[in-house]
Amino acid sequence: MPCPTWRPIRFSGLGVALVAAGTLLAATPAGAAIRVLAVASSHAGVGNTSPAVSSLTYSLTIPDGNDRLLVVSVLIGDNSSPCIATSPTVASVTYGKGPLNQITAIVGTPECDGGAPRSEQWWLAAPATGPHDVVVTLSDNAQTIHSGAMAFEGVDQFGPVRNFASAIGRSRSSSVHVPSSDGDLVVNTVGQGDGIFDAGTGQTLLFIQNGDSSNTLNNSAASTAPGASGGVTMTWTFWNIDSWQTISSSLQPAGASTEAAGPDAAVKLVYVARPLGCACQSAVAAETCLWGLVGLLAAPTRRRLPARRRG
């Protein structure tokens, strides 16, 4: 029996996020490791000129994987003196047709404790597979924009971010500590004004894109490290002393939020919409497929995002 096409549905205020009918989404076994699926990065703008860039578009191809999560960093550079300018805000981040949600944002440095520069992280559960554009749109023009898109599999779909933390400074190295847990994966992004040399010991480098030293945050990078019960400290070394901003998010593995909810939390069935319709799966009753009933069985009514801010 053919199925009609449904768009994804979000249930704000519930511990569940999503979805319409179509194909039954396979779940990652609890305790499975979080794995990087794909990474892309890009930047635009010139530091020593009048602000002239208000958006950034680049492509990311996500392969198949269970319990996918997309994390996107945005860094807005500024070289105003004496730091009186205000960076534009991030109006939206999208991947394909899916809008992302903000994890956190930090503004200012030890030199500029006002409204510039700015760093942010954004997330999207169950991003579409295949090639799609990441589009970052600002509220106004900026001198430079840097962004990185990182796709993962094996991430909890109902509470993907356990904790996040941010830090600012002016030095030849950066450091930020985020509360975490065994089985998590910490993803860290950083921006600096001179040039980024390398990630700290025990971190896996995802990308470095060095622009130049014409403004603060015209150099950016990202790395990951395994989570730990005592928390994880993420560090970077830079070419020279300059201002920096950094954010860490601890992603928790698939099944973590269900386990935290207790033994009374039932398994949740999630269906993912297809752009051009779908075929009813033999394991799904025709009535369920036809009416697009969301398979949420006794889902815990609690919200996990945004996570608690530390640091």
- Average pLDDT per run of 10 along the chain, which is 311 residues long? 34 32 44 90 84 93 98 87 74 96 93 82 98 97 95 96 96 98 98 96 97 90 97 98 96 81 39 33 32 34 46 50
Please state, in angstroms and rounded to a whole number, the distance separating the CA atoms of residues 138 and 91. Answer: 5
Domain extent listing, the chain: 2-255+305-310
Strands 118-125 and 35-45, bridge-based pairing: unpaired
pLDDT at 261: 47
Please state, in angstroms and rounded to a whole number, the distance separating the CA atoms of residues 255 and 253. Answer: 6
Sign of CA dihedral 27, 33, 38, 41: positive
pLDDT at 84: 53
121: Cα separation from own chain's centroid: 5
Which residue(s) pair with 220 in the sheet? 191, 209
Counting Cα atoms < 13 Å in the Cβ hemisphere of 277 gives: 7
pLDDT at 49: 72
Please state, in angstroms and rounded to a whole number, the distance separating the CA atoms of residues 67 and 138. Answer: 29
Give how far Cα 296 sits from Cα of 5, 16, 252, Å: 19, 8, 21
Sign of CA dihedral 226, 230, 231, 232: negative
Q: Which residues contact 215 (CB under 8 A, 6 or more apart)?
A: 47, 48, 77, 78, 79, 117, 143, 144, 193
Task: For the beta carbon of residue 250, count every other beta carbon within 10 angstroms.
Answer: 26
Task: For the beta carbon of residue 48, count every other beta carbon within 10 angstroms.
Answer: 11
pLDDT at 6: 32
Counting Cα atoms < 13 Å in the Cβ hemisphere of 94 gives: 13
- Write out the H or E segment, with its range, that includes residue 42: strand 35-45
Sign of CA dihedral 228, 233, 239, 242: positive
Please state, in angstroms and rounded to a whole number, the distance separating the CA atoms of residues 236 and 197. Answer: 8
pLDDT at 303: 39
Please state, in angstroms and rounded to a whole number, the distance separating the CA atoms of residues 75 and 196. Answer: 14
Please state, in angstroms and rounded to a whole number, the distance separating the CA atoms of residues 161 and 280. Answer: 33
- Quick check: 157 and 123 in contact, CB under 8 A? no
pLDDT at 277: 34
| Number of continuous H segments (helices) and E segments (strands) in the chain | 2, 20
